Structure 1
Amino acid sequence: MEPNKDLIELNVADFAMVFEDLTRIFIRLPSIEKLSFTTLSVLHTLSRKSPMRLTELTANEQVTQSAITQLVTRLEKDGLVERRSDPNDGRVVQVHITPRGANIIDSRRLERIAHITTFIKGLTPKEKQAIVSAIPALRRLAELGGDA
């Protein structure tokens, strides 16, 4: 049996390196909001999964319970998150992102889109089409790794 010539071998090491480079670029893009990486990570997580228990945030962000408690306290003082009792269990506190916190994530995303748009202008039509074609697979990959 002949190997399928349409099958493209994926070099996972190359793929990882490119994503590391892109991640570094994304993190370092200039922004109006100057917040720490951990702060932005928590806000981004809450923008997609709010509300969350402190224990869930601790596990998700891979920091200590003490660190997440301090961070949430600071974010709460800044009006970016709020703590509320779990309606199903009054002993449990849930962390909710506020409209102000969500606005920071939205504005940073818009800033990133503007920067990336300038980068994309340097691509050929064929390169742009390759990215368009890859988006569904990349979205699925993100879903598969979402709990990692």
Structure 2
Amino acid sequence: MPQTDLTDLHHILGDLVVASHRLTRLAARVTGSTESPATWRTLSVLQTTGAMRLGELAAHSRVSQPTMTKIVRNLVESEWVKRIADTDDARAWQIAITPKGADALQAWRDELSAALVPMFADLSDDEIEALRSTVTIIGSRVELSAAASEAVAGAR
């Protein structure tokens, strides 16, 4: 790919990340939810990657371990996550999402989507197809990246 195309791609991807974050914040604000974004991010990480130790979960959610301890405590009280014994280390625990947590996460995602529909209801069929294609492309690249990261981590 020529350098000018790479530069253009660089800018487009940067704009996409910014737009995505703005869209998420806007949707959350419109819903009026008081739940911390870190709660939803944590549940999403657990749903996507499966059970993991608290330190790993903190790293994936980009918060400190003491902050993750508080988040997990609240999520356990809500019965959205559970602690399970770590099979590799009897002294350690792993955190896993519960069916109740998965349901809460899906309800939150549905609420976000419903809040955004009025802003996008006037899109043409071609624009909706462009959004669908964008979601597919991003999803496949993120999955590829996650698989590559896991392969590298497993090779250590």
Superposed CA deviations along residues 73-126 of structure 1, whole A, max 9, x for unmatched, are 222122221111113432221011122211110111122232333333211222
TM-score (norm. length: structure 1): 0.77
* 8 Å Cα contact 1:54-1:69 kept in structure 2: yes
For residue 121 of structure 1, what is the amino acid of its counterpart? A
Q: CA RMSD in A?
A: 2.4
Q: Whose Rg is larger?
A: 1
User: Which structure 2 residue ranges, 5 or more long, are not aligned?
Assistant: 3-7, 150-156
User: Which structure 1 residue ranges, 5 or more long, are not aligned?
Assistant: 4-8
In the alignment of these two chains, the number of paired residues is: 139
> What does 1:67-82 correspond to in 2, within 5 Å?
67-82=67-82
- Structure 1 residues 108 and 91: CA distance shift in structure 2, 3 A: same
TM-score (norm. length: structure 2): 0.74
Shift of 1:144: 5.1
Partner of 2:19: 18
For residue 82 of structure 1, what is the amino acid of its counterpart? K
* 8 Å Cα contact 1:47-1:105 kept in structure 2: no
Mapped pair 1:42 → 2:42: yes
* 8 Å Cα contact 2:28-2:112 kept in structure 1: no
More helix by share: 2
